[in-house]
Amino acid sequence: QELTIYAPLGRSVEVTKMSCQIPQEPQRLIYSYSIVGGNSQNRFILQGAILVHSDLVLGPFWPEQPRTYELLICVADAGPSTPHLSTTATIIVHLVPRRASTVATSTHRTTVGPAAASTQQTSPGFAAKQHPGN
């Protein structure tokens, strides 16, 4: 998934909401999500399955120019089913900083098809999907 966000200075902005499903195993319903790469300066956090750009701590690191982040998200089966499965998905975020004088924010999102899965055990039906947030 690749998207652009317009982030106001000192505010949190919802970037996207992720979901995961395994068509061959619909009983697997509980997943955990974690950022495992690309989160320089810790600008992004996960609140459950929602990726948030969080820039509540201002300082010299606020970008003056647009910046691109390539985040690697790990999705893991957190339920009681075995074997436990996991996969990773890449989300590319183009961050455009906005000063306080700019009130409106908008987000353009493009969804790409599901990512193939690989885990401790190869499972051909495991796929992660990202769905844009509202």
Q: Whole-prediction pTM value?
A: 0.67
> What per-residue confidence (pLDDT) applies to 105?
43
CATH number at 80 reads 2.60.40.60
Adjacent-strand bridge partners of 21: 127
Q: What is the pLDDT of residues 7-30, one digit of tens each?
A: 887 788 899 998 888 888 888 888
Query: Whole domain around residue 106: which residue ranges?
Result: 2-131
Task: List all residues 6 or more positions away from 7 whose beta carbon is below 8 Å from its beta carbon.
Answer: 13, 53, 55, 95, 96, 97, 98, 105
| pLDDT grade for 71, boundaries at 50, 70 and 90 | very high
Counting the structural domains of the chain, the total is 1
Kindly state the average pLDDT of the residues 63-81. 86
pLDDT of residue 79: 75
Query: pLDDT value at position 37?
Result: 97
